[in-house]
Copies of this chain bind each other. A is one copy, B any other.
Amino acid sequence: MRVGSFSPPWIQFADQKQEFNKRPTKIGRRSLSRSISQSSTDSYSSAASYTDSSDDETSPRDKQQKNSKGSSDFCVKNIKQAEFGRREIEIAEQEMPALMALRKRAQGEKPLAGAKIVGCTHITAQTAVLMETLGALGAQCRWAACNIYSTLNEVAAALAESGFPVFAWKGESEDDFWWCIDRCVNVEGWQPNMILDDGGDLTHWIYKKYPNMFKKIKGIVEESVTGVHRLYQLSKAGKLCVPAMNVNDSVTKQKFDNLYCCRESILDGLKRTTDMMFGGKQVVVCGYGEVGKGCCAALKAMGSIVYVTEIDPICALQACMDGFRLVKLNEVIRQVDIVITCTGNKNVVTREHQFLFWPFRAGCIASLRTPELTWERVRSQVDHVIWPDGKRIVLLAELNGLSG
């Protein structure tokens, strides 16, 4: 899909600077809140301990680090973790045969020679395999993280060690976040001609700070629904001056990532954060799109008793024919152990639903941020919300931005 066209770009662009002058706070804040609440990594790393065990509290921005070839064009937590990260990448390579085959097939040809790609995504082992494939095909890349929490430090270190200018670490501040993005694009003697973005923050930063840079941009690939939404708004306003691709439009994203990856990751994510068993648990899944279908399939297979809420009649009928009882949330909320929201809609789960639940997305939990409820952070991204009477729910508010 192309969400934009090449003209008329620059006039609107000028007008628009105005608007973007207001953004550093507003949009930046929104972007960041998105970074926190909606996005996260698809791949939990068991290597987290390497990252966490750092006793070094110095900000990476204040460190002087060089890789073994003497380059210091990167900013990561600890370049010494590169070897651990390399092993993570090697494991990921075994699971990504298509990209590995592509490397082999394009060997020596450098079909991407001349491509200068600036990227802003989660920095995981899988991203590393992508970046190194782009590099193997001849592209030059500079990369930042699209999320202040999701970077695997040792993977970032491995990328830096092998010569990629990577600017990302786990636990960036908001200022760090934008500083890293800026370090990717604001480089003496290098201008990107392609953007790979997840969430739209990189695109907006360039748009606002370096509008002229767009003249050289051949295209944008946007991975997230949020980012695409922002691009559509630009396009409608006649201000999108480069072609853009929506990754979600590909059938493999809709029918595979959303369905099968959720089927694989829902229990993994919940188990890692809660250590629960799912056999015999009563679960209500809100929404029976591809994400909901994947979650329901996994839960049913694990012996959970699954209820579904759904307003779309076709999806509702599918849920029914797949053996899930269709309910309204109110009917079951007092008897279920777990609530999973597989919809981006707001207000799906509200204050009246007072029991244990695990929303997937942030929008639906606003009503829980009230003075009489106590929030207690148990682990990263796991909160207990405690009612005045002592009842507590476990909230995985930011568990997973599965469908981007």
A residues apposed to B, CB below 8 Å? 43-49, 52-53, 55, 87-88, 91-92, 94-95, 125, 251-252, 255-256, 260-261, 263-264, 267-268, 271-280, 282, 297-298, 300-306, 314, 317-318, 320-325, 356, 378-379, 384, 394
CB distance from A315 to the nearest CB of B (A): 10
Contact at B279–A323, with CB atoms within 8 Å? yes
If A49-B52, A301-B301, A302-B298 touch, whether A321 touches B378 (CB-CB below 8 Å) is no
Which residue from B46, B53, B55, B278 sits with its C-beta under 8 Å from A264?
Answer: B278
| CA distance in complex: A182, B214 (Å) | 70
Contact at A261–B280, with CB atoms within 8 Å? no
Contact at B46–A49, with CB atoms within 8 Å? no
Contact at B321–A303, with CB atoms within 8 Å? yes
Contact at B324–A256, with CB atoms within 8 Å? no
| CA distance in complex: A318, B278 (Å) | 13
Contact at A303–B95, with CB atoms within 8 Å? no
CB distance from A369 to the nearest CB of B (A): 21
Contact at A48–B45, with CB atoms within 8 Å? no
| CA distance in complex: A125, B87 (Å) | 31
Which residue from B49, B276, B303 sits with its C-beta under 8 Å from A263?
Answer: B303
CB distance from A104 to the nearest CB of B (A): 15
| CA distance in complex: A53, B92 (Å) | 25
Contact at B323–A46, with CB atoms within 8 Å? no
Contact at A394–B91, with CB atoms within 8 Å? yes
B residues in contact with A260, CB < 8 Å:
277, 279, 303, 321
| CA distance in complex: A222, B261 (Å) | 39
B residues in contact with A302, CB < 8 Å:
263-264, 298, 301, 323
| CA distance in complex: A260, B279 (Å) | 7
Given A49-B52, A52-B52, A267-B268, list of 10 further CB < 8 A pairs? A44-B275, A48-B49, A91-B394, A95-B276, A95-B277, A256-B318, A263-B303, A264-B277, A279-B320, A282-B325
CB distance from A78 to the nearest CB of B (A): 14
B residues in contact with A280, CB < 8 Å:
317, 320-321, 323
| CA distance in complex: A87, B379 (Å) | 9
B residues in contact with A273, CB < 8 Å:
46
B residues in contact with A268, CB < 8 Å:
267-268, 271-272
Measured CB to CB, the nearest residue on chain B to A325 is B305
Contact at B45–A275, with CB atoms within 8 Å? yes
Measured CB to CB, the nearest residue on chain B to A279 is B321
B residues in contact with A279, CB < 8 Å:
260, 263-264, 320-323
Contact at A301–B304, with CB atoms within 8 Å? no
CB distance from A314 to the nearest CB of B (A): 6
B residues in contact with A379, CB < 8 Å:
46-47, 87
B residues in contact with A252, CB < 8 Å:
314, 317
Contact at B46–A251, with CB atoms within 8 Å? no
Which residue from B125, B276, B394 sits with its C-beta under 8 Å from A275?
Answer: B125
CB distance from A383 to the nearest CB of B (A): 11
| CA distance in complex: A113, B252 (Å) | 48
| CA distance in complex: A36, B268 (Å) | 25
B residues in contact with A323, CB < 8 Å:
279-280, 300, 302-306
Cβ contacts A to B, 23 pairs, < 8 Å:
A43-B275, A44-B275, A45-B275, A46-B272, A87-B384, A91-B274, A91-B394, A94-B356, A95-B277, A125-B275, A252-B314, A256-B321, A263-B303, A264-B271, A264-B302, A268-B271, A279-B321, A280-B321, A282-B325, A298-B301, A298-B302, A303-B320, A304-B323
